[in-house]
Structure 1
Amino acid sequence: MFGSFDKTPKELGYRMPGEWEKRRRTFMQWPVRDGKNGGTSIWPNGVDAAKVGYAHVAKTIAEFEELVMIAPAELLNEVKEMCGEKVKVLSLPIDDSWVRDNGPTFLLNDKQEVAGVKWRFNSYGEKYQPHYNDGKVPYHLGIFYDTPIFTSPLSLEGGGIHSDGQGTILTTESAIITQSRNPNFTKEQITTLLKEYLGAEQIIWLKSGLYGDLTDGHVDNTACFVKPGVIMIQACYDKHDPDYEIFQENMKTLKEFKDRSSGMPFEIIEIEKPPIRYYDGQLLTLSYINYLPVTGAVIVPIFGGDAKETDKKALELIQKVYPDRKVVPVDGMPIILGGGCVHCITQQMPYGKSF
């Protein structure tokens, strides 16, 4: 099942579906990286504050679809108490709480069979230790849900790729083409491998993600597909903001590509970024792009305070582009302090048949 396939996912007819397609469930991983036992700490407010934020997101998603929280055995009772009865719990050893990045990237084929890709996870270029258990999560889920798992030689995180479901993948050079992740592959080789493991025909390479992003610029903070032919991008209009030049360059790149199905240029929707914010001297990468479509809803992070006006604009815009879904805001601050937000802490499994 694992890594023993004679053909790639693309050769077997698999593709990475769009996030708006029908879903089976969503996964999360409970915050555990508390800096104890020699590990790297990432939560400036402490892991207990992070758990409150994660529990709120989990309970919100569970109102719309199945939510499975992955947690180590010794914390299962804590998860059940904080997340409530609607949230399901799966016991696995883990190192951190960003299942978008270390979990499997799920695929579908024309028979509606589900498979997954395990990327070579090295915790953002060996930034955080340990990460051994997180790297094994795709295999555990493959066994538990009877789903075949393809093992890719590429080192990347799931937050670094986004799909239109029809053969186009959006990504950033800054978070994949790096010496700390893929020193032995050229851009051309990485492009080919992405196509083979995601069932893609076209890779859109943005130069970089948001300034100061601890992931080196994941695309899920920067731009995403709303549906085939439509891309939303976090816009920066302040020329003194370091994200301004990044935004301008990424817009230029996106305008050079066309939607494969229609042959038309992509419709690009700009969503204004929140004001620059620091916490204890650390720049926070606030992003409305880091939302999550779920069954019948869209879970959107908001940041309050001086972001009150951009919060309001973002919610209105996202409601406009998802007219048939309920837009549900959640407080993104307890999560963003660890370096990510709603999309980063979740991973969706599409609806389909298991083996």
Structure 2
Amino acid sequence: MYPTDLNYTMPAEWDAHERTFISWPVQASMVFPENYEAVSAGYAEIIRAIAEFEPVSVVVNPEELEQVQALALGDNVTLLSIRHNDAWLRDNGPTFVKGKDGALAGVNWKFNAWGGKYSPWDLDDEVAPQILEQVQIQRFDAPLVMEGGSIHTDGEGTLLTTEECLLNKNRNPELGREAIEEYVRKYTGTEAIIWLKRGLSGDETDGHVDNIACFAAPGKVIIQVCDDPQDENYGITQENLRILENAVDAKGRKLEIVQIQQPPHRDGEDGRLTLSYLNFYFVNGGIILPVFGGTATETDLLAGQKLAELFPDRRIRTVNGMAVIGEGGNVHCTTQQMPAGEIS
């Protein structure tokens, strides 16, 4: 039995949320464990920002509960004692789906730490089932390695992804494109998949779509672009732009495309940082937008203005995008939304 057999589909991220889930960072798993305090401060900032709009549940290792509790993250924040290896809940958390009657369920994808890049990941692979048990909703176990950051939906049957990630042999080496498409359709209710080619330069997730393109509304896509032909992202974004210009969605519509200029190239301790304004996160009545400061001050401003124009009914709440990016992700990567709905 698949979610689609029961009329479940994956809603758009901008639909109303019941709450947001996020995991607390684990020092032992960090690329730069010496930055633990700064990264923790970045997570605390993200959590407090989201909590201005909706409830937040923070997944915390049991031995760190008192430490995180002492931070007084706010009345709208609760802590969940669940063991985990790492803190990118977008990727190892459940994907929530919703029935036509408003009933909620959750998809538990397999997780292998972005193609086996970081070991161990056994605890992370068990986080989604425990969250679904906590919220007491039906669980669908998918036989597919998949990260939530690799897909984005318009809520009307169209899904964005990249070939670089979803077809990567370090995820599902035994499956071809058609088999992967079929599983994605059956577990998310997708009718049409728009396959972009590659993700941004430096993205160690093998090209997650949530750094390069996302839906703003049905029939409308935002893409981050680069206008410097010397930058590797120029060719990457131009190729993806051409794909979007020639695509149609599940309803047969040509896409309206909105371009956002990328921040200037910036290197971290371990090479290029994957700076992306599209790693923003929809919350109830708002958007949590990472900004980067310094040489990115001008593009920070432009990104905020563009999103304010696109979403006049939402408050654009900025956070320090440099706080957690050194660990490989940003706001969207840390979060997973639970849609508002009925719990059976």
- Which category describes the TM-score, using the shorter chain as reference length? over 0.9
Q: 1:302–1:330: 8 Å Cα contact kept in structure 2?
A: yes
Task: Kindly provide the CA deviation profile for residues 144-184 of structure 1, in whole angstroms up to 9, marking residues without a partner as x.
Answer: 11111111111111000000000011001111211211100
1:216 matched residue in structure 2 = 206
Q: 1:16–1:199: 8 Å Cα contact kept in structure 2?
A: yes
Q: How does 1:283-298 map to 2 (within 5 A)?
A: 283-298=272-287
| TM superposition shift of 1:107 | 0.4
CA distance in 1, matches of 2:54, 2:84: 23
| TM superposition shift of 1:188 | 1.0
Pick from 168, 186, 195: which aligns with 1:178? 168
SS, match of residue 166 in structure 1: coil
- Which letter does structure 2 place at the counterpart of 1:289? L
SS, match of residue 3 in structure 2: coil
2:87 matched residue in structure 1 = 97
Q: 1:208–1:217: 8 Å Cα contact kept in structure 2?
A: yes
**Normalised by the size of structure 1, how large is the TM-score?**
0.95
CA distance in 2, matches of 1:166, 1:216: 26
Q: 1:138–1:149: 8 Å Cα contact kept in structure 2?
A: no
Runs of 4+ in 1 over 6 A off after TM superposition: none
SS, match of residue 31 in structure 1: coil
- Which letter does structure 2 place at the counterpart of 1:329? T
Pick from 123, 126, 134: which aligns with 1:144? 134
1:166 matched residue in structure 2 = 156
Q: How does 1:1-355 map to 2 (within 5 A)?
A: 7-32=1-26, 34-35=27-28, 40-43=29-32, 45-82=34-71, 83-261=73-251, 263-355=252-344
Q: 2:30–2:327: 8 Å Cα contact kept in structure 1?
A: no
SS, match of residue 107 in structure 1: strand
CA distance in 1, matches of 2:193, 2:32: 34
Q: Could you list the runs of 5+ residues in structure 1 that have no partner in the other structure?
A: 1-6
| TM superposition shift of 1:259 | 3.0
CA distance in 1, matches of 2:33, 2:234: 28
SS, match of residue 220 in structure 1: helix
Identity %: 44
- The size of the alignment, in residue pairs, is 343
- Which letter does structure 2 place at the counterpart of 1:18? A
Task: Kindly provide the CA deviation profile for residues 251-305 of structure 1, in whole angstroms up to 9, marking residues without a partner as x.
Answer: 11112212333x3310000000000000125110000000001011100000000
Q: 1:71–1:91: 8 Å Cα contact kept in structure 2?
A: yes
Q: Which has the higher helix share?
A: 2
- Which letter does structure 2 place at the counterpart of 1:54? Y
Q: Could you list the runs of 5+ residues in structure 2 that have no partner in the other structure?
A: none
CA distance in 1, matches of 2:14, 2:34: 33
CA RMSD, 1 decimal: 1.1
| TM superposition shift of 1:44 | 6.0
Larger mean Cα displacement after TM superposition, 71-80 or 327-336: 71-80
Q: 2:24–2:40: 8 Å Cα contact kept in structure 1?
A: yes
Task: Kindly provide the CA deviation profile for residues 29-86 of structure 1, in whole angstroms up to 9, marking residues without a partner as x.
Answer: 0001x23xxxx43236521211000001101111110001110111112212222343
